[in-house]
Amino acid sequence: MNHLGSFDRPIHALVVGSTGAIGRALTIHLLDAPNVGHVISWSRKELKLKHTKLTSWAVDITDEPSIAAAVAGTSALNLIIVATGLLHDGASLQPEKTWRSLNAAALMRSFAVNAIGPALVAKHTLPLFPREDRAIFAALSARVGSISDNRLGGWYGYRASKAALNQLIRTLSIELARKRKQAICVGLHPGTVDSELSRPFQGAVADGQLSTPDLAAWRLLSVIDQLKPGDSGRLIAWDGTTVAA
């Protein structure tokens, strides 16, 4: 159990994508932490979980008015975790193996969920951070979004949208540092996690490289707890290492 002891004040957290495998596990870990005062859950469907510290909202991060409506009922936050992501969705969206498979609608959907949505969440929630105290905005990204690390090709939409997210995080971190000196904005690479997102591709995962959502959440919270202001703008893996841009 990670107690997030690096926060001097009680934690008021927002988990976006809380009905997904990692998002739900993160929410449960946060609810169990004694120094977490309140957890807000955002997902397309309200999280079916009862807890005195939990408030759930149905929010579509691809719809800005939906985000704005949810923020209107929120006062202060010092931890925001965006745990959304889209890699495949039936026949309408699959990772491209070749440029012949590129499709405008599929590309736009990948960018809407993986890049634009988290950026809109940041737009509406970063103003809720305290002026002086520690605060963290973290969005789940992916190593495949690294441009310099791309040696296999393929997966055009997912790679490009996660690369866009990494750039958005870097840019957000620069502006955030001007306004809130103790605030941190990072991307987090959770590794390969047993979830709906990874399930069709788990056959290619080496032994010992597939983690449970619970373990992934614990590792990510451990990374969050150790973040310093100098880490802001980076993509950091589950083991604390920085992923090259």
Residue 45 lies in a domain: yes
pLDDT at res. 148: 94
Residue 107 lies in a domain: yes
**Burial of residue 130, with CB atoms counted within 10 A of its CB: 0-12 exposed, 13-18 middle, 19 or more buried:** middle
Residue 117 lies in a domain: yes
Per residue in 78-92, pLDDT (tens digit) is: 999 999 999 998 888
CA distance 181 to 145: 27
Residue 5 lies in a domain: no
The CATH number assigned to the domain holding 146 equals: 3.40.50.720
CB under 8 Å to 135, separation ≥6 — which residues? 77, 78, 79, 129, 180, 182, 183, 184
DSSP structure class, residue 239: T
Residue 53 lies in a domain: yes
Q: Kindly state the average pLDDT of the residues 88-103.
A: 93
pLDDT > 70 in the chain, percent: 95
What is the domain count for the chain?
1
Residue 71 lies in a domain: yes
Residue 6 lies in a domain: no
Half-sphere exposure of 200 (CA within 13 A, CB side): 8
Per residue in 25-65, pLDDT (tens digit) is: 999 999 999 999 999 999 998 888 999 999 999 999 999 99
Residue 1 lies in a domain: no
Per residue in 198-240, pLDDT (tens digit) is: 777 766 666 667 889 999 999 999 999 999 999 999 999 999 9
